[in-house]
């Protein structure tokens, strides 16, 4: 695996971590482990991205531990000598990671921030002020920067302070949801999902899959309409999975919530598959996930089962629908979005 530009910049300074207990939060799915592992006493990587976590698994070794989860409670030994944060695109998620870093470290221990200029690294020092002192630039290159600051004081990790409880307006009235920083739909209902909710069955039945569940709004909406459905919800984002599970629990519904790259972890067939499929991975726009989802969804539908999803009107999914279902059926649209629906 090649290194991303932020990882390449960080690898040049691997000797800074000599014999340290190093924790890397939000790592890219590349081979940075190979540069860091020979230097450190132990390297722990906590990923909130299931795809990146899966890519890193083959690189696990004696002094390298990998974890997937929404926060540092997923770690076996939540302490460190230094923390590196690969900054995410959402500023509130960076603050969330900084709070975790502070909980892992003693006062004055170093925290490193690495990321792309277009990804927010230029404003990262400002975001870090509540947790770090003296944040400064160590290096730059390939449109990336590496910053370092000192942990102001070890602060206990308080995950409950990061939960956002909010309500969104749906065709059936207000729906209460829970969310965490970095989750799609955090604190609001996006217009595409709003249009999708208007087209969903009034009485969903049987097995239902919510693909790319985000804060759980689609699955929760369907469970409110029929609590008897067998609901499954998948996403690659650990915070989204935690948010969906929390949203369903608070509403008194049950669901199987789990990570999946596309439909790779999904078993069996469904009566209904619904989605507002993602077309970004990190900062990059990509249609691969949604296109694979469309082509694979037909195999996960029961005879007569239905796929319903929303997409930006300009996105090129017509060929994939025609390949999977032999037709392209648009049941609603506005100036920005289209709702596609097909039965097996």
Domain boundaries, the chain: 5-159, 163-343
Q: Are the CB atoms for 38 and 173 separated by under 8 Å?
A: no
User: CA–CA separation, 132 vs 110, rounded Å?
Assistant: 9
Q: How confident is the model at residue 282 (pLDDT cuts 50, 70, 90)?
A: low
Given the candidates 3.40.50.150, 3.30.70.2190, 1.10.1060.10, 3.90.1150.10, the CATH classification of the domain at 163-343 is 3.40.50.150
Q: How many residues does the chain have?
A: 344
What pLDDT does 285 receive? 61
300-312 pLDDT, tens per residue? 999 999 999 999 9
Assign 73 to helix, strand or coil: helix
- Characterise 19 by phi-psi region: left (phi > 0), alpha (psi -120 to 50), beta (else): left
User: CA–CA separation, 108 vs 195, rounded Å?
Assistant: 49
Q: Are the CB atoms for 109 and 81 separated by under 8 Å?
A: yes
Q: What mean pLDDT comes out for the span 122-136?
A: 96
Q: How confident is the model at residue 287 (pLDDT cuts 50, 70, 90)?
A: confident
15-58 pLDDT, tens per residue? 999 999 999 999 999 999 999 999 999 999 999 999 999 999 99
What are 266's two structure tokens? 């999904």
What pLDDT does 172 receive? 97
Q: How confident is the model at residue 280 (pLDDT cuts 50, 70, 90)?
A: low
Q: Tell me if domain 5-159 and domain 163-343 are identical in fold.
A: yes
User: CA–CA separation, 97 vs 219, rounded Å?
Assistant: 27
State in Å, rounded, how far the first CA of the chain is from the last one: 38
What are 154's two structure tokens? 């070890």
What are residue 130's phi and psi, to 5 degrees?
-65, -15
Cα 185 versus chain centre, distance: 12
Q: What mean pLDDT comes out for the span 219-248?
A: 97
Cα 148 versus chain centre, distance: 25
What are 311's two structure tokens? 């997409």
User: CA–CA separation, 177 vs 166, rounded Å?
Assistant: 5
320-342 pLDDT, tens per residue? 999 999 999 999 999 999 999 99
Given the candidates 3.30.70.141, 3.40.50.300, 2.60.120.260, 3.40.50.150, the CATH classification of the domain at 5-159 is 3.40.50.150
What are 219's two structure tokens? 């699955």
User: CA–CA separation, 80 vs 172, rounded Å?
Assistant: 48
User: CA–CA separation, 271 vs 304, rounded Å?
Assistant: 7
| Spatial CB neighbours of 228, under 8 Å, sequence gap ≥ 6 | none
- The model's pTM is 0.94
What are 103's two structure tokens? 């909980």
User: CA–CA separation, 253 vs 152, rounded Å?
Assistant: 42
């Amino acid at each position: 695996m090649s290194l991303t530009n932020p990882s390449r910049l960080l690898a040049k300074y691997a000797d800074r971590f000599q014999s340290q207990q190093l924790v890397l939060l939000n790592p890219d799915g590349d081979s940075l482990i190979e540069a860091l592992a020979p230097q450190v006493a132990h390297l722990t990587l906590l990923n909130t991205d299931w795809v990146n976590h899966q890519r890193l698994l083959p690189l696990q070794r004696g002094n390298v531990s990998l974890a997937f989860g929404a926060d540092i409670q997923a770690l076996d030994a939540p302490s460190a000598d230094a923390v590196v944060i690969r900054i995410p695109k959402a500023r509130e998620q960076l603050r969330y990671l900084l709070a975790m870093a502070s909980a892992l470290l003693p006062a004055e221990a170093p925290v490193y921030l690495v990321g792309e200029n277009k990804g927010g690294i230029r404003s990262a020092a400002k975001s870090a002020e509540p947790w770090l002192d003296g944040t400064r630039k160590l290096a730059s290159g390939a449109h990336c920067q590496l910053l370092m600051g000192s942990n102001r004081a070890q602060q206990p990790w308080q995950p409950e302070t990061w939960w956002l409880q909010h309500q969104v307006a749906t065709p059936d009235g207000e729906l209460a949801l829970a969310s965490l920083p970095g989750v799609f739909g955090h604190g609001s209902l996006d217009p595409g999902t709003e249009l999708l909710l208007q087209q969903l069955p009034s009485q969903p039945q049987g097995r239902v899959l919510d693909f790319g569940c985000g804060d759980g709004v689609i699955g929760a909406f369907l469970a409110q309409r029929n609590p008897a459905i067998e609901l499954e919800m998948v996403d690659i984002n650990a915070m989204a999975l935690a948010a969906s599970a929390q949203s369903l629990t608070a509403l008194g519904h049950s669901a199987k919530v789990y990570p999946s790259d596309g439909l790779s972890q999904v078993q069996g067939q469904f009566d209904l598959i619904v989605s507002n499929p993602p077309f970004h991975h990190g900062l990059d726009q990509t249609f691969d996930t949604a296109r694979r989802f469309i082509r694979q969804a037909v195999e996960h539908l029961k005879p007569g089962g239905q796929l319903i999803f929303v997409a930006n009107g300009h996105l090129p999914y017509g060929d994939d629908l025609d390949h999977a279902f032999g037709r392209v059926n648009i049941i609603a649209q506005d100036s920005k979005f289209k709702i596609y629906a097909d039965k097996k």
